[in-house]
Amino acid sequence: MYTEKVMDHFENPRNVGEIPDADGVGLVGNPTCGDIMKIYLKVDNDVITDIKFKTFGCGAAIATSSMVTEMAKGKTINEALRLSNQAVAEALDGLPPQKMHCSNLAADALHAAIENYRDKQK
């Protein structure tokens, strides 16, 4: 039911943890399943230089969090904002239809962290 890539990111998640002096933090939750995802960013010169996540959720939520952090690292803020849940799911070679909302959570947490970073710049 899950692709090899999903299983790999679930079993060996990348960029797990927190960044104590993060430049932006995004927290989102899914009201239906109760899963929660938090993403921390370090930004230098408009580029995401470090990113970490903590996810209290299902296997697909952990795999999509891991993948979204890999995809966002090294990208500019604008490039990272364009990362969609669809792109995250595709990078994992797909998710079962009933698990697509898990990738929404990952993209939303990234976007929330970027918004938080932008608010702090004002």
Q: Among residues 33, 49, 56, 120, which one is catalytic?
A: 33
Contact set for ligand FES, span 60-89 (CB under 6 A): 60-61
- Would you call 121 exposed, middle or buried from its count of C-beta atoms within 10 A (0-12, 13-18, 19+)? exposed
Asked if residue 94 binds ligand FES (CB under 6 A), the reply is: no
Asked if residue 39 binds ligand FES (CB under 6 A), the reply is: no
Contacts of 35 (CB under 8 A, 6+ apart): 29, 55, 56, 57, 58, 61, 102, 105
Q: Among residues 83, 89, 102, 106, which one is catalytic?
A: 102
In DSSP terms, 44 is beta-bridged to 47
**Residue 59 CB, nearest approach to ligand FES (Å):** 8
Site residues, ligand FES (CB under 6 A)? 30, 33, 35, 57-58, 60-61, 99, 102, 105
